[in-house]
Amino acid sequence: MFDALLFLGSVAAGAIASVAGFGVGSVLTPLFTLAVDTRLAVAAVSIPHLAATSLRLWMMRGQVDGRLLRGFGLASAGGGLAGALLQSRARSRTLDVVLGGLLLLAGLGELTGLARRTRLRGKAAWVAGALSGVFGGLVGNQGGIRSAALLGFDVPRDAFVATATAIALAIDLARMPVYVVTERARLSGVAGLVAVATAGAIGGTLVGQRLLARIPEPLFRRVVAVLLLALGVYMLARKG
């Protein structure tokens, strides 16, 4: 039963990530924690996350915003690595609450129009990228806060998702060695679950690409905002 639940959750996670630029870690990490502890769950989820992200980037490679990737993206990747290194020491319920609050603010800001009045440029982009990476690395959930920060940039739908995906892949490549080294002895014990999650995330990614093409450009940012609100509420409501 758990394998079936994990597979269905992985399909949903892959589809959501193809629409909003985040979702694999947000959905799969709590699912994995039903079977293993949080540290192992974060390490295990990094594998299907890498597979789904790589596929999504390959399909959207022509839509990546190079300027945004070089500024915000590099800073986010660096911050993500730092957060991953500190995760075992700094993980706490307080971080979940802070991140959940930030996601709520980002979602509400976009829905109310406040976010559209402030656009990030220059050094602010680097700062936003670094902070989103650090927070995400600390809680093992970088996608939501990264997409929240990306709402501060004026980029079209496909460029938003493609650039978020490219940044996610860079962060995956930076953090996976850390997770593999720290949890290598236990990852082999959940290899079957990781395989199920990877297959589901890949399938969901293919489905999500079709869904993204059907979302009108004016509606896209609101869809992302609603998903951020849902993730923020979840992070505030879940137990530590």
pLDDT digits (tens, 9 = 90+) for 101-149: 878 877 887 788 765 655 555 566 667 677 777 776 666 667 787 787 7
Task: Give yes or no for residue 12 having a pLDDT over 90.
Answer: yes
Q: Which residue has the higher pLDDT, 114 or 212?
A: 212
Residue 15's Cα: distance from chain center in Å?
A: 13
Whose CA is closest to 238, among 93, 37, 60? Answer: 93
pLDDT of residue 61: 92
Query: Among 48, 155, 146, 59, which Cα is nearest to 106's?
Result: 146
Mean pLDDT of 6-25: 93
Better pLDDT: 159 or 185:
159
- Please give the residue that has the higher pLDDT: either 231 or 131: 231
d(CA 82, CA 207): 33
Long-range contacts at 47-51 (CB < 8 A, ≥ 24 apart)? 47/176, 47/194, 47/197, 47/198, 48/10, 48/24, 48/194, 48/197, 48/198, 48/200, 48/201, 48/202, 49/24, 49/25, 49/168, 49/172, 49/201, 50/169, 50/172, 50/173, 50/176, 51/198, 51/201, 51/202
* Percent with pLDDT over 90 in the chain: 37
Kindly tell me if the per-residue pLDDT of 83 is higher than 70: yes
pLDDT recorded at residue 81: 72
